[in-house]
Structure 1
Amino acid sequence: MLVKFIKEIEEIPTPDFQVQQIINIASNPDSSIKDLEKAISMDASLSLKVLKLVNSAYYGLPRKITKISEAVMILGFKTVRNLALSIFTYSSLNKGASNVDKKKLWQHFMSTAIISEVVSKIIGYPEQEEAFMAGLLHDIGKIVLDIAFPKYITSLVEKSKSNKVCFYTLEKKLGEETHGELGAFLIEQWKLPELFQIVSLYHDEPENNDQEAFDTILYIVHLANYFSNLMYNGYSGSYCEPTLSAKTFKVLGIKPSDLIDISIKIRNALAKAKALLEGGEENES
């Protein structure tokens, strides 16, 4: 029923021509650095924000990057694409009308993206940029709820907080589409690859996914979401004790004893990611 309503709501975020062009160029192996530089440079504000994030401590570059072409050359097409999409997602989140803390929700999005990238490196998963993007978009359905159904998501978050019940569990009890289903719908509308839809649909209960080809990236984000909820409890709007699927260890080839070392690497990465966690905005404090 919720999907039926959001189809008629104009405020639901859709990447504008420029952002869509950036995604398309970055995904095309025949594109050149000049193509991507031109697409980003069409918007001066976007260019400045991308450069700010490129020069953040998270990437640890030895010198300051002043040109988009340099950023693309050093970090790669998909990393720059991810930064542009992050900026768009951040601005979309702030269009919501609910009482949900937008800064905390954003930090959940971005911390999950960063942790997904860290886990990818640890297990040797080659598509680290895709893991970052999958982590960023895993809870994108909450933006839909925030914009289209602000009272509904506010109620869910309040009930989760007062009863210490998972946000996802409350959604299922109500029988409406979950934020995962809404996110998958939005990602499909954005014409992004199916893997991002799968992650949105099943990141809370990955065992329900029957497409084994997507298991690795799904369980990477599932683990990242677990760590993010553990470290920033309540930031996602879910105040329950996070749980980790036992299948995670088999799929990712790790042991429970590895989680301590993984958590140390995650904390180190997050400590360098202040600018990313702030959405590329200036810190006013």
Structure 2
Amino acid sequence: MSQIIKVSFTDIIGRVHNVPSLPEVVTEVVRLINDPRSSAEQVHKIMVKDQAMAAKILRMVNSVYYGLPDPVHNLEQAIVILGFKTIRSIAMSIAVINLFQQQDANFNMKSFWTHSAVMAQISRLLAAKARLPDPEVAFITGLLKDIGMLIMVQHAPDETKRMIAVAREFRYDINRAARKVLTTDHAEVGAWLCKKWELPDHLVDAVRNQFSLDQAVDPKLTSVLQFGEYLCGLKKIRFAGQCGEPKIDQAVWGHLGIDKTSLVEVLSVINDEVDNAKMLLKMVM
């Protein structure tokens, strides 16, 4: 029997001839919000260039997802009430989820985006509990944690199908299954895409090292991802190929300062976060 040649990271990204691009409006908004000198008026001027996105943002702001006491009538008002960082999260959610809508017979996109939206919600919650400086960055990181899977589904379909089959047969986690078929994994591919999108370095690093906490530049943010994935596993919120038992690096507990009491508190609101994630998807897709 001939030896199977494992596909590398370079092989996969070499097949991506047209890198999925974020809308220019989102890229500009992210850049502006990262600048402490920017104003609500500047952010508003950029966002009104994309009327479809502006309408979706207003729809979300006025939904029970945010539960504001009074209706918000315009985008500038929404920016002032919710703040730059929350608006950035909304814009990123709308852009990324709508960028990857192509259906695949071997990969359930609805399950994938449900998992990603729940990861985003839980990551924001955990980041706030652990007192990370920007829980909204954790939200975006959670949303994008597994984005590399979608690149692999599109550009390495045979290898991805085989990887998922290995995970199901041996009850492996997705990373271990990937290394049986490839010399890379979706974390490395996802980090590459986030880097292409010029997202913050610590976000890119957290995506890349989601399975390697000891190599993470920002172990707290990476711990948020690992713990969020652990909670998703406990709740059976998974996408194709996630077949291993939920597990967590012991160092995560220390990085996040979570004890048994905190864990019970987090678990008590997980169902609410799942409902919020489903609501988010319904409005965005």
Common topology (TM > 0.5):
yes
Matched, 1:66 2:73: yes
| From 137, 145, 165, the counterpart of 2:144 | 137
> Does the CA-based 8 Å contact 2:118-2:273 persist in structure 1?
no
1:146-157 to 2 correspondence within 5 Å? Answer: 146-157=153-164
Structure 1 counterpart of 2:50, one-letter code:
D
Aligned to 1:43: 50
| From 74, 89, 111, the counterpart of 2:118 | 111
Residues in 1 aligned to 2:171 and 2:11: alpha-carbon distance in whole angstroms: 30
Aligned to 1:258: 262
Aligned to 1:27: 34
Cα distance change on mapping 1:91 and 1:150 into 2, 3 Å: farther
| From 233, 236, 239, the counterpart of 1:232 | 236
Aligned residues: 278
Matched, 1:192 2:226: no
Aligned to 1:87: 94
> Does the CA-based 8 Å contact 2:223-2:252 persist in structure 1?
yes
Aligned to 1:3: 10
Aligned to 1:244: 248
Structure 2 counterpart of 1:271, one-letter code:
D
Structure 1 vs Structure 2: percent identity of aligned residues? Answer: 25
SS, match of residue 284 in structure 2:
coil
Cα distance change on mapping 1:162 and 1:257 into 2, 3 Å: farther
SS, match of residue 91 in structure 1:
helix
Which protein shows a greater Rg? 2
Structure 2 counterpart of 1:131, one-letter code:
A
Question: Any stretches of 5+ residues in structure 1 without a counterpart?
Answer: none
Aligned to 1:219: 223
Question: 1:17-48 CA deviation, whole Å, 9 max, x = no partner?
Answer: 22211211221212221221222221221112
Aligned to 2:62: 55
Moved more, 121-130 or 216-225: 121-130
Cα distance change on mapping 1:26 and 1:98 into 2, 3 Å: farther
Aligned to 1:172: 179
Structure 2 counterpart of 1:230, one-letter code:
L
Residues in 1 aligned to 2:281 and 2:235: alpha-carbon distance in whole angstroms: 14
Residues in 2 aligned to 1:149 and 1:5: alpha-carbon distance in whole angstroms: 6
Residues in 1 aligned to 2:240 and 2:58: alpha-carbon distance in whole angstroms: 28
Aligned to 2:4: none
Residues in 2 aligned to 1:180 and 1:67: alpha-carbon distance in whole angstroms: 38
SS, match of residue 219 in structure 2:
helix
Cα distance change on mapping 1:272 and 1:97 into 2, 3 Å: closer
Residues in 1 aligned to 2:277 and 2:151: alpha-carbon distance in whole angstroms: 26
Residues in 2 aligned to 1:215 and 1:28: alpha-carbon distance in whole angstroms: 24
> Does the CA-based 8 Å contact 1:109-1:137 persist in structure 2?
yes
> Does the CA-based 8 Å contact 1:108-1:229 persist in structure 2?
no
Question: 1:119-155 CA deviation, whole Å, 9 max, x = no partner?
Answer: 1222222311111111111111112112212232233
Structure 1 counterpart of 2:85, one-letter code:
K
Aligned-residue CA RMSD (Å): 2.0
SS, match of residue 246 in structure 2:
coil
Structure 2 counterpart of 1:164, one-letter code:
R
* Residue 279 (structure 1) shift: 5.6
SS, match of residue 107 in structure 2:
coil
Cα distance change on mapping 1:148 and 1:36 into 2, 3 Å: same
Normalized against structure 2, the TM-score is what?
0.89
Question: Any stretches of 5+ residues in structure 2 without a counterpart?
Answer: 1-7
